[in-house]
Structure 1
Amino acid sequence: MFISFNNLLLPLLTLKKIKQSNMKHLNSILVAALFFLMVGVANAQDENNPWAIEVGVNAVDLYPIGLADGQTTNSASRGGLFDEYFNVEDHWNILPSVSKLSIGRYLGSGFTFAAVGTINRIDTVGDVPVDDLTYYGVDGEIKYSLRDLLNGPGGWFDPSLGIGGGYTWVDDIGFGTANALASVRFWLGENLALNFQSTYKHAFEDTYGQKHFQHSAGVVFKFGGKDTDGDGIYDQDDECPETPGLPEYNGCPDTDGDGIEDRNDACPNTPGVAEYNGCPDTDGDGIPDPQDECPTEAGPKSNNGCPILDRDGDGVNDDVDACPDVAGPAANKGCPWPDKDGDGVLDKDDACPDVPGTVANKGCPEVSVEIIKQLNDYSKTILFDLGKSTIRQESYAILQNIADIMKEYPNENFVIEGHTDSQGSDATNQKLSDNRAASVRTYLTTIGMSGNRLSSIGYGESRPIATNANKAGRQQNRRVEISLRK
């Protein structure tokens, strides 16, 4: 069953619908509208929010759509295109309730797409009353905003032009439409606007499709933006999206408030000047504080920003002089070199800084003839097991005395010499003298002497100091001697 609004010569058929069915659809739209309204308010942020929801009312006008073939201008059902376009009282069909819901998404470069649902009731076609026909529309719209072209970004006046298409039902009769539309939004805030729109819907069905205008007015809420750092600048425009910042720096911070944002500020927590990348020059000497070793006292760059002071005149500036009132070399931080043992050899050159020595021996004491004699007096009393190199235990105290004397001369090296009498073969005596000298050297290293300072050698029977013809002489020849290693 259908009603042809294109030709009033056909009888107008009244399609009866149960009022409860209309109210059921209306209530569903109202519930959905309230839900999206709450979402929009809760999430409304700024102009960068990509989503928008519109809740409003619509009016359907079937009159100013152009005359049909053979129709005169005084027809009650249709006028010329845009004829009596604003005749609200006679031609507009308005449902006195929320009757439009639109959800849109910003596409970029001024374009948006929206899905629109509308409900209405047709009471009049032109000036001709009809019997309460239901109207449903589902449309898709692509609009281009002229806002930025006319006002610049953020202007309150926001006209748009667009095209679209959809499907319309009048009672149970459905038909597709191609749409052309114009709208204007008046932004009351960053996220809230009033929208007024007029849409011409051209039906594709000549028999029962209805060309008509649909006008609407609604409230628009924008939402969906993201502001990770909560600084009021949304991430898509925030160059520092995870750090709260300022609008003038595109969302980046300037912690010290010196007009240089932190990411370009070498001293972000201390106010400074652009000349020094945001760092201060407290003493005004032309050297920024981080590079100035004396930031509160002016000084030349050659002295790292410190004033040149040298009270003791040693060439070491007071700020690095450990002894600013006593002259000393730079190598010793401006202090004079010490000579703790008073032997005339400075500690830095003294191999034995705690023991007086001679300059010739690098500050260490020199071994005198008397000391060598004392060492040999001890060494000659070292006893070995008969025919062996094993040192007898009663000689341990003697060896300790020898070690103590040697330690007093840490810069000297010693040779341990082994000797035998003439009894036995030369080879046997040579081996015995080598082993006994080595045995003494080894023992001395076990009681604290450095092995690097000691060497040993055996001379066998080749260097007697007494006759081997009698027992007394042979006893003198069996000996260990100590000499200096040259």
Structure 2
Amino acid sequence: MKHLNKLLVAVMMVMGLASHAQDSNNPWAISFGVNAVDTRTSAGGGSGFFDQHFSQPFAVKDNWNILPSLSYIGVSRYVGSGFSVGLQGSVNKIDKAVYFRPTAPGHDGRGNVVTNPGDLMYYGIDATIKYSFQELIKSKVIDPSLSIGGGYTFLGDDSFGTVNPGAGITFWFTDAIGLELATKYKWAVSPSDPPGRNDYNGEIDTPSHFQHTAGLIFKFGGKDTDGDGIYDKDDACPDVAGLKQFNGCPDTDGDGIVDASDACPDVFGLAALNGCPDTDGDGIADKDDACPDVAGLAALKGCPDADGDGIADKDDKCPTVAGPKENGGCPFLDADKDGVLDKDDDCPTVYGPASNRGCPEVTSEALEDLKVQARAIYFNSGKATFKTGDKETPARLDAIKEILKNYPNAKFSIEGHTDSDGSDKLNQKLSEERAAAVMNALIERGVNVDNLVSKGFGESQPVASNKTAAGKAQNRRTEIRHIGSKYQGKL
């Protein structure tokens, strides 16, 4: 039992080592399984070292001691460059011991005899330095290795130290789980007088032996902060979940470009444009395209130039006709030859001075004609409706419209007046309504509303005496006055 306690202490040491937190990809591994002890090597029979040690390497039934249960446990830590260090504890029961007794009956022809030394308990504690060839051969499944180490073996009431060269191979089912097969030759460096020593013939049976193991191995200890299945050591973005093909970095829009290199990480885009979309296909990313929905030129920030004058259509006052930039993209045209370019001419087909934006000035003859026509518009007595039965009023309104359309930028005031009959308040209201009636009639005939205003002056501005019927008739009138340009204050 005291040797079993030693193995338990070794196992506890192994478990304690395995509990340390780590910061690299699965640097720790724990293994467990069954072990077999082959004592043939201690017998000494045969004609040489290799004949003694390797003549019957797989005589399992004859030479191997196997405890049919979990009989070893080990832990190791990867230290880099293919090397790992480990500690292993094992237990077995020796019921087949091979001794060199050439004079004994039943020897195998080499002088070796297999006997039962009394079911001796076997305990081993071994430290190992192992080199793996897996990285060298670039395999994800096959992992061959060589090892060297030392340990201490307890056999019955005896114990001795060993030097342990060995070899092994692991077959990895996953990145972290594998089947481990290993063997080591445990060469006794301080042999005692083991059970089975043949004092009769003076031959010393050394305790050197082979120990073979087969079991499962599990890697662990890696850290994955963002939980994306990629260990921090290999994760280029350890704090944010990502994809394996991008070394753990995310690609939010799924365009194949990692967010860190994606100029438009939330919108699916093109690799040629650093992950940004190009809706109109003109090779300019939407974020840099002033006209993202219509193909254009890089020189114009993605906007088209239909006339090829170097001015984007959206800024070109004449997008289908080439013209210089200083003329807004329009050619220098002056159709009416008035010295005002068509682009600045409010009346491009009618001659007019630049002071009036290319439109003709309102002449005194036109104003006189407006005066005559306006004063000849009659209303029903006391009302703002045109006089019933007067067939001339529509013709006069048409005549006024024809005069006004010759002056598209001129502004005119339609003004109503009354005689002195009635109250001032009533006359003021009636004059305003009559002026508005004339203005509305002109607007209905196509005169621009922006060119007109209406006002009422009641009886305050008579043109004749209100003491006579003839004078009152002259005072009941409408006037049309030119009051300037509709652009006044904006020029």
Query: TM-score normalized by structure 1?
Result: 0.53
Q: Displacement, 1:125?
A: 1.0
1:92 has 2:64 as partner:
yes
Matching residue of 2:88: 116
1:216 has 2:210 as partner:
no
Query: Following the alignment from structure 2 to structure 1, what is the Cα–Cα distance between the partners of residues 210 and 122?
Result: 13
For structure 1, the 5+ residue unaligned runs are 1-19, 318-325, 329-486
Matching residue of 2:116: 129
Q: Displacement, 1:28?
A: 7.5
Number of matched residues?
A: 291
Q: Percent identity?
A: 46
Query: Following the alignment from structure 1 to structure 2, what is the Cα–Cα distance between the partners of residues 204 and 310?
Result: 96
Deviation sequence 1:77-118 (CA, Å, 0-9, x none)? x97111211111121112222110100001111111111111
Task: Note if contact 1:44-1:222 (Cα within 8 Å) is conserved in structure 2.
Answer: no
Task: Note if contact 2:94-2:119 (Cα within 8 Å) is conserved in structure 1.
Answer: yes
Q: Structure 2 matches for 1:2-151, cutoff 5 A?
A: 48-65=25-42, 67=44, 80-126=52-98, 127-150=114-137
Q: Displacement, 1:278?
A: 1.3
For structure 2, the 5+ residue unaligned runs are 99-113, 194-205, 305-312, 319-325, 330-342, 346-491
Deviation sequence 1:432-481 (CA, Å, 0-9, x none)? xxxxxxxxxxxxxxxxxxxxxxxxxxxxxxxxxxxxxxxxxxxxxxxxxx
Deviation sequence 1:189-244 (CA, Å, 0-9, x none)? 22111111111011112444621111111111110111111111111111111111
Matching residue of 2:233: 236
Question: Judging changes above 3 Å, is the alpha-carbon distance between structure 1 residues 285 and 57 closer, same or farther for their aligned structure 2 residues?
Answer: same
Question: Judging changes above 3 Å, is the alpha-carbon distance between structure 1 residues 205 and 287 closer, same or farther for their aligned structure 2 residues?
Answer: same
Question: Judging changes above 3 Å, is the alpha-carbon distance between structure 1 residues 196 and 296 closer, same or farther for their aligned structure 2 residues?
Answer: same
Q: Which runs of 4+ in 1 moved over 4 A?
A: 20-33, 310-317
SS in 1 for 2:251: coil
SS in 2 for 1:198: strand
Task: Note if contact 1:184-1:197 (Cα within 8 Å) is conserved in structure 2.
Answer: yes
Matching residue of 1:347: none
Q: Displacement, 1:169?
A: 1.5
Q: Displacement, 1:281?
A: 1.4
Q: Displacement, 1:171?
A: 2.5
Deviation sequence 1:233-257 (CA, Å, 0-9, x none)? 1111111111111111111111111
SS in 1 for 2:164: strand
SS in 1 for 2:53: coil
Q: Displacement, 1:299?
A: 2.7
Matching residue of 2:286: 289
Q: Structure 2 matches for 1:318-397, cutoff 5 A?
A: none
Task: Note if contact 1:253-1:262 (Cα within 8 Å) is conserved in structure 2.
Answer: yes
Query: TM-score normalized by structure 2?
Result: 0.53
Matching residue of 1:309: 314
SS in 1 for 2:37: strand
- Matched residue type, 1:243: V
- Matched residue type, 2:90: T
1:162 has 2:147 as partner:
yes
Matching residue of 1:188: 173
Query: Following the alignment from structure 1 to structure 2, what is the Cα–Cα distance between the partners of residues 123 and 66?
Result: 15
Deviation sequence 1:108-153 (CA, Å, 0-9, x none)? 1111111111111222211111112221111111111122333x24
Query: Following the alignment from structure 1 to structure 2, what is the Cα–Cα distance between the partners of residues 118 and 310?
Result: 88
Task: Note if contact 1:201-1:213 (Cα within 8 Å) is conserved in structure 2.
Answer: yes
1:276 has 2:281 as partner:
no
Matching residue of 2:468: none
Task: Note if contact 1:29-1:99 (Cα within 8 Å) is conserved in structure 2.
Answer: no
Matching residue of 1:246: 243
Q: Displacement, 1:24?
A: 6.2
Deviation sequence 1:359-412 (CA, Å, 0-9, x none)? xxxxxxxxxxxxxxxxxxxxxxxxxxxxxxxxxxxxxxxxxxxxxxxxxxxxxx
Q: Displacement, 1:51?
A: 0.6
